[in-house]
Amino acid sequence: MTAVHGTAVNIPTPDGTADAYLAHPDDGGPHAAVLLYMDAFGLRPQLKKMADRIAGAGYTVLVPNVFYRHGRAPVVELPDFIGPDQRPGIFERIVPVLQSLTPELVVRDADAYLRWLAACPQATDGPIGITGYCMGAGLALRTACAYPDRVAAVAGFHGGNLASDAADSPHLLADRITAEVYFGHADQDHSMPPEQIERLEKALTAAGVRHRCEVYPGAHHGYTQADTNAYNPVGDERHWTALEDLLARAL
């Protein structure tokens, strides 16, 4: 792993300014870009550590606060460790914010993030990679569908409702994807039950998308997040291997 430099940055969007975290190798050169989409708990030290790890493998990583319309991160104050006792109170505040982020706003913001990376001196020209966690997996999928010419790789881990019955479910746009896709599902995730996993797999296959969808045994929704009680170290390391392999192939 190379030395990494991390800094706070601001991204202009049509609706304001998104605060974000940027991490990149501390070698002065440009590197292939990766957009990291947060989980519902938001931009915090845990996600910065994850961005640093990806940057240490040789990438320039941007982690936007996708809830920026409601304030700078942390939009909701969080404890150092999110356990079962804290979750109900946190989600009571987060859910209305999450529900206000419509698919239309996601696509509009994604354009701003991609344009910012395209102009970033630390990022090389060319398509980027995306990785998303929990709600971020859906954002990653929507971004890959909306901007196929700008996304070469998309990964999602413990994503929820990726292939629901909703009329705007992201799997319905699979035929727009040109990127290589990887999903690491948790086998104990009520937001992504077996029928949705199967539906997503069928949609990607029918669209001819290069993809791999795997189910991680013994993993709960949020298994990559070390600052929560959902963390599963075995699943987390498996996720890192899959993500690093995907980025190496595609970028």
Give the three-state DSSP class for 71.
Answer: coil
How far apart CA 194 and CA 22 sit, in angstroms, is 35
What domains can be seen in the chain, in order of their start residue?
Answer: 4-250 (3.40.50.1820)
3-state helix, strand, coil in the chain (%, to 5): 40, 25, 35
Cβ within 8 Å of residue 17, ≥6 positions away: 10, 11, 68
- Verify whether residue 221 is a known catalytic residue: yes
Average pLDDT in the 76-81 region?
96
- Short-list 21, 15, 178, CA closest to 112: 15
Annotated catalytic residue, options 134, 211, 220, 239: 134
Annotated catalytic residue, options 24, 31, 211, 221: 221
Annotated catalytic residue, options 109, 189, 227, 236: 189
pTM of the model: 0.98
Average pLDDT in the 145-168 region?
98
Mean pLDDT rounded to a whole number for the chain: 97
Name the band, by pLDDT with cuts 50, 70 and 90, for residue 96: very high
- Verify whether residue 134 is a known catalytic residue: yes
Residue type, 42: G
How far apart CA 93 and CA 24 sit, in angstroms, is 32
* Whether the predicted pLDDT of 1 surpasses 80: no
Quick one: CA torsion of 53, 54, 55, 58, rounded to 10 degrees? 120
- According to the model, what pLDDT value does residue 2 have? 85
Average pLDDT in the 211-221 region?
97
